[in-house]
Structure 1
Amino acid sequence: MPQITVRSGPFAGMYAGNIRAVLERGFLALKTNNWAVFASGFVEPVLYLLSMGIGLGAMIGAVEGPAGPMSYPAFIAPALLAVSAMNGAIYDSTWNVFFKMRHSKIYRIMLNTSMGPLDVALGEIGMALFRGAVYSTGFLAIMAVMGHLTSPWALLMLPAAVLISFAFASVGMAITSYMTKFQQMDWIMVVLMPMFLFSATFFPLSVYPEQIQWVIQALPLWHGVELLRQLSVGVFTAGTLVHVLYFVVMVIGGMVFASIRLKSLFLR
């Protein structure tokens, strides 16, 4: 007879220690999905790197980076790695989560078992983290082939990109829990596209007016871009720690809100 573990404490109704079941279901579903769709979010940043890095790079020349002048392709490559990590996490934690939450009602079925809201939230965020990690690894390999990994410290960009994915996945799931119609999902792109274009992805922050710089520095993608850009050349400052803590706060806040929302939606 299977042994049943009864949990007690403040998280007894939120967590049953069964994240594995959510992950197993996610990977089984992934096997039957179209892998071209899975890879689509990875292709866009790669195309930007190839087109703008090679095309504009030939005209722009050197750009001021964290450790001094650097080539334009080397300048935008870490930024596009951050974008790739964000894309992978956002896709799984928004569109996929919305379908399971509002249409297939999978979360309601899961929460009718012994699983708690935190199990579901961590499992779904874990799947989004997997996609973000795959995107980041593939993009880092392309950077290596193109010769944009100029420092051994650049290998730290991979765990940093996973942290970025974790943060965006956590917040993405929390935000998606408040959406009730497919049309509302367009709001996500309305936010992501300007953030992608203006988070010092293609140009140094100094080209913007000072008032705009303050706004940009509040954006999560800017922190990801700056973190990976610093790691790419092995520069560590107090700002590096600030970037990391920014994403840690996003992770914790996103998971807490996502769990609370799942509980209020399906366990009332």
Structure 2
Amino acid sequence: MGYFGLTEISRGSLAVWRRNFDAFIRTYKVNFIPPFVEPVLYLLALGYGVGALIEDVNGIPYPVFIAPALVSISVMYSAFFECTYSSYVRMYYQKTFDAIIATPLSIEDIVTGEILWGATRGTIYAGLMIPVLFLFGVIDLPISLLLIPCAIPAGILFASIGICFTAITPSIDSLNYPAFLFITPMFLFSGTFFPISILPESLQYFAFGLLPLANVVSLNRAITAAEFSPLILYNIIWIIGVAAIFFVIGLNLMRRRLII
């Protein structure tokens, strides 16, 4: 076994992914409603409500400015919470992980399958939001279709971070701490509803250096605006690199949790 357990990952992770996908499809009526309703509520309340009191942001109408951020937020929430609360329920209450480990599949298969499913759910939600945003006239096609492939590494990033918290949390109630102390601050201070450029320079470096959502929002906003700059390359490298780091950390933390 390799130190990071990567040599133990096999196509069995796809079986875990398929199991979660099938469960998702069985409740599709509930699962498909949020990505349609959520952007409408945000656009009405913030884009056209608060936005009516705000001048253009860097020459961009406010609803257009927040549109790519809404997609980014949806990917973050769906991937992160799928791999925290939902994964914890499958691990601790439903004993799904125990049942899978009793088969030829490994712990690495389970963790990888969970992360891939979290990323897939985030990508599905991003894909469902795009036609809604297009109908509101806040994004353009076909350029905004690039948000879908960009949601994959972003989803893996947030899903991997979620698995790390799931592996170390003592109880499901303790997952409230990363939700309130990590996810909520990112939701507010990652350039979602105002440009990061208005922050002090030190906080700008902090955001792009340490906040995952800031890089995802920056990337998605550049795509929808068709403004390609060296910052995009930085965002892509940062997202993929940090996702790989947390993926490996999540594998090892979850192996320790399940073996003990």
Length-normalised TM-score, structure 1? 0.86
Structure 2 gaps of 5+ residues are none
- In terms of mean alpha carbon deviation, does 225-234 or 258-267 score higher? 258-267
Shift of 1:152: 4.0
* Runs of 4+ with >3 A deviation: 8-13, 31-35, 37-46
Superimposed CA distance per residue, residues 210-239 of structure 1 (whole angstroms, 9 cap, x where no aligned partner): 333233222111101110000011112221
1:229 maps to 221
Question: How many Å separate the matches in 1 of 2:48 and 2:257?
Answer: 49
1:203 maps to 194
1:49 maps to 43
Q: 1:155-234 to 2 correspondence within 5 Å?
A: 155-190=145-180, 191-217=182-208, 218-234=210-226
Question: How many Å separate the matches in 1 of 2:27 and 2:170?
Answer: 24
Which of 222, 243, 255 lines up with 1:263 in the alignment? 255
Superimposed CA distance per residue, residues 78-99 of structure 1 (whole angstroms, 9 cap, x where no aligned partner): 1111001111111211111111
Larger radius of gyration: 1
- Are the equivalent residues in 2 in contact too, given 1:85–1:132 (CA < 8 A)? yes
Instruction: Indicate the RMSD between aligned Cα atoms, in angstroms.
Output: 2.3
Superimposed CA distance per residue, residues 59-96 of structure 1 (whole angstroms, 9 cap, x where no aligned partner): 213111xxxx1111111101111001111111211111
Residue 21 (1) aligns with residue 12 (2): no
1:60 maps to 54
- Are the equivalent residues in 1 in contact too, given 2:39–2:133 (CA < 8 A)? no
Structure 1 pair 122/141, CA: closer, same or farther in 2 (3 Å)? same
Identity of aligned pairs, percent?
A: 30
Higher share of residues assigned helix? 2
The one-letter amino acid of 1:202's match is: F
Q: 1:97-116 to 2 correspondence within 5 Å?
A: 97-116=87-106
Residue 251 (1) aligns with residue 253 (2): no
Shift of 1:161: 2.1
Structure 1 gaps of 5+ residues are 1-7
Residue 241 (1) aligns with residue 208 (2): no
Shift of 1:163: 2.2
